Amino acid sequence: MREIKCRGLAKESGKFVYGTLIVMQHIDKRHFHYFIIPECSDMSYGTLLESILVEVIPETVGQYTGLPDKNGKEIYEGDTVKNTGYDELCVIEQHKGDYIMRYGEKSYCNLGFYVCERNSVEVIGNIHEGQQS
């Protein structure tokens, strides 16, 4: 079974938080709040949920694909990757229930194939923080 986890940019710090995504509808029922419970949080009985939740910017939330790049780094939706086999930059997205590498408006290829069969994918940044090379 694939590990289910997400990441998102924290509203306060602007840094990525990794863990379990929780979406709560505001009491006025007009909007939602997005939170992540960070990995390794103290979830013992009596811990107040409010003390460990980190509010994140909804547009920056991305799910872990379950696949590592050629260097062992986890690949998330929104990552910018280099397909070293073809020397091209791609963005990771979900498409029809699968993860793809989009490298144009309508051009894409299956992420799993290039990770598992070719070992030619390297994370170089993400669309939310820019390129990190």
Query: Which domain CATH number covers 112?
Result: 2.30.30.290
Structural domain count, the chain: 2
Helix%, strand%, coil% for the chain, nearest 5? 10, 50, 40
- Statement to judge: residues 54 and 69 lie in one domain: no
- Is the residue at 1 inside a domain? no
Report the chain's C-alpha Rg in angstroms.
16
Q: Give tens-digit pLDDT for 10-48.
A: 999 999 999 999 999 988 878 899 999 999 887 788 778
Percent of the chain whose pLDDT exceeds 90: 56
Range of the domain at 97: 64-131
pLDDT at 79 over 70: yes
- Consecutive H or E run containing 88: strand 88-95
pLDDT at 132 over 80: no
Query: What strands, in cross-sheet order, belong to the sheet with 6-9?
Result: 54-55, 32-38, 16-25, 6-9, 62-68, 74-76
pLDDT of residue 127: 93
pLDDT of residue 23: 94
pLDDT of residue 1: 62
Dihedral sign computed on CA atoms, order 68, 74, 79, 84: negative
- Is the residue at 90 inside a domain? yes
In the chain, the amino acid numbered 28 is: D
Q: What's the burial of 126, exposed, middle or buried (CB within 10 Å: 0-12/13-18/19+)?
A: buried
| Res. 133 pLDDT band, cuts 50 70 90 | very low
Single residue among 15, 41, 59 that ends a domain in this structure: 59
Q: Please tell me the pTM assigned to this model.
A: 0.86
pLDDT at 57 over 90: yes
